[in-house]
Amino acid sequence: MVFKKYFIPRFIQYLTVLFIGITLVFIIPRLLPSDPVEHQLNRMTAQGQYLDPAAVEEMRETLQELYGLKGGLFQQYITYWKRLFTGNLGPSFTQFPTPVIELIKISLPWTLGLLLVSLMLSWLIGTILGGIKVSFPNSILTKLIEVLAMGIRPIPYYIMALVLLIIFAFIFPVFPMAGGYSMGAKIGFNLNFILDLFRHAFLPILSMVVLEIGGWFLQMRNVASNVVEEDYVVYAEASGLPKLKIIFRYIMRNAIIPQITGLALNIGFIFGGALITEIVFSYPGIGTLLYSAILAGDYNLILGINIFSIVGVSTAMLIIDLIYPLLDPRVRYQ
């Protein structure tokens, strides 16, 4: 009953954002001066082959059909949505005729793994450290972490990944430079493979965690320092409750709520960061897929990844929003 008050507006917002985002992705390429079909054809003819004009014409038609560029703007829009509802993101041009959605499906688990692990680690550790910092404000250790976090946080994902790559995969070749697993490794649930996976995943995860921990730490610190000045914390102290209890049940439990909101807001940014990190490490996720699409000029693939990203991130936000009432009784019960 109460859920309706909370969930329905959220859901409407979700759909609206999806609508705006997908329309945006629809509009942008059509606003820009280049025509991907011509682009494609030019690339082909630039390779110096002679192509029968009639064949080129046919190819143009087919490409237009495939890219959804046939017909007037409105017609294209309808086709666009129709295809989306059937999960049809078109075929990849470089890996013709594999549908884009298939390629995404293959790369997705790697990206998800990277994202989830690094997000969990950085969010949990950052939040806990932030809570500790607020509860023991004069500890030297936390001050040190604070300085470090603040220094590292603004560094772009790419640079951090690159620096780590140089140091740990090249100068001190502790970790492999690229890939998700070694070539020729036996895939399966054996210890070797799993260890191999770890070794390859370590640097990308480290890169993301190092960058993000600072952010969560700082955010939690700010949130929690507001909570500490709230009346109920002062009162708890005045009633002689044990410090640990106050820290966990009173301070952190309340600070977590805006912290989760922060998580939801930042997901888009972190997702982008994951893609970038993957590219640097050639980690076989969506990021690398995107990169190869850029190199090959696979327009459909780029488009498809865009749409997928928008849907994915929005859905993740919705899920987080759904968790929110579980944490905040003020929303759960009116």
Partner 1 sequence: MLRVFKRLFSYDKRFMFGFSILTLFIMIALISMFSPYNMKAWNTVPRDMTWSWKYPLGTNSMGQDLFWQAMVAIKNSLLLGLIAALISRIIAIILGLLAGYKGGLFDRIVMTINDSFIIIPLFPVLILIASILRTSLSIAVLGIIIGLFGWAWDARLFRSQILSLKEREFTKTAVLSGMKTYKIITSEHLPYIIPLIMAATINNVIWVIGMEVTLSMLGLSNLNTPTMGTMIYWALQYQAIFLEKWNWILTPIISCIVLILALYMLSTSISEYLDPRTRLQMIKEE
Partner 2 sequence: MSIIDVKELKAYYSTEKYGRIYRVRAVDGVSFQVHKNEIFGIAGESGCGKSTLLKAVSGLIKPPLEIMEGEVVYNFDDIRLDILSLKEDKQRRKVRGVRISHVPQGSMSVLNPVRRIKKSFHDIVDAHLKIEDRTLFDDMVKKHLDALGLDWSVMHAFPHQLSGGMRQRITIALATILKPDIIFADEPTTALDVVVQRGVVQLIKKIKKEQQNTLIMVTHDLAIHANLCDRLAIMYAGKIVEEADVDIMFNQPKHPYTLMLLKSLPKLGDKSNRVSAPGAPPSLIHVPSGCRFHPRCPEAMERCRKENPELIEAGKGHRVACFLEEGSK
Residue closer to partner 2, measured from CB, 52 or 229: 229
| 27 scored as a contact of partner 1 (CB under 8 A) | no
User: What is the signed CA dihedral for 214, 232, 238, 228, rounded to 10 degrees?
Assistant: 20
Q: Encoding tokens for residue 225?
A: 């320092």
Among partner 2, partner 1, none, what does residue 29 contact (CB within 5–8 Å per kind)? Answer: partner 1
| 194 scored as a contact of partner 1 (CB under 8 A) | no
Per-residue x/- mask for partner 2, residues 274 to 313, rule CB under 8 A? ----------------------------------------
Residue closer to partner 1, measured from CB, 1 or 31: 31
Instruction: Tell me the window of 40-48, 199-207, 249-257, 268-276 that interacts with partner 2 (CB under 8 A).
Output: 249-257
Residue closer to partner 2, measured from CB, 86 or 138: 138
CB of 18 to partner 1, least distance (A): 9
| 241 scored as a contact of partner 2 (CB under 8 A) | yes
* Residue that the structure tokens 């997901």 belong to: 267
CB of 162 to partner 1, least distance (A): 7
Among partner 1, partner 2, none, what does residue 242 contact (CB within 5–8 Å per kind)? Answer: partner 2
Report which of 213, 78, 239 is spatially closest to residue 151, judged by C-alpha positions: 213
Cα–Cα distance measured from residue 48 to residue 50, given in angstroms and rounded to the nearest whole number? 7
3-class DSSP string for the chain: CHHHHHHHHHHHHHHHHHHHHHHHHHHHHHHCCCCHHHHHHHHHHHCCCCCCHHHHHHHHHHHHHHHCCCCCHHHHHHHHHHHHHCCCCCECCCCCCCEHHHHHHHHHHHHHHHHHHHHHHHHHHHHHHHHHHHHCCCCHHHHHHHHHHHHHCCCCHHHHHHHHHHHHHHHCCCCCCCCCCCCCCCCCCCHHHHHHHHHHHHHHHHHHHHHHHHHHHHHHHHHHHHHHCCHHHHHHHHCCCCHHHHHHHHHHHHHHHHHHHHHHHHHHHHHHHHHHHHHHHCCCCHHHHHHHHHHHCCHHHHHHHHHHHHHHHHHHHHHHHHHHHHHCHHHHCC
| 327 scored as a contact of partner 2 (CB under 8 A) | yes
Per-residue x/- mask for partner 1, residues 308 to 327, rule CB under 8 A? -xx--xx--x----------
* Residue that the structure tokens 């972490």 belong to: 145
Residue closer to partner 1, measured from CB, 154 or 240: 154
| 163 scored as a contact of partner 1 (CB under 8 A) | yes
Among partner 1, partner 2, none, what does residue 329 contact (CB within 5–8 Å per kind)? Answer: partner 2
Exactly one of 243, 294, 323, 326 binds partner 2 (CB under 8 A); that residue is: 243
CB of 220 to partner 2, least distance (A): 16
Q: Which residues bind partner 2 (CB under 8 A)?
A: 230-232, 234-243, 245, 249-250, 253-254, 257, 327-330, 333
Q: Which residues bind partner 1 (CB under 8 A)?
A: 13, 16-17, 20-21, 24-25, 28-29, 32-34, 36, 150-151, 153-159, 162-163, 165-166, 170, 265, 267-269, 271-273, 275-276, 279, 290-291, 293-295, 297, 299, 302-303, 305-306, 309-310, 313-314, 317
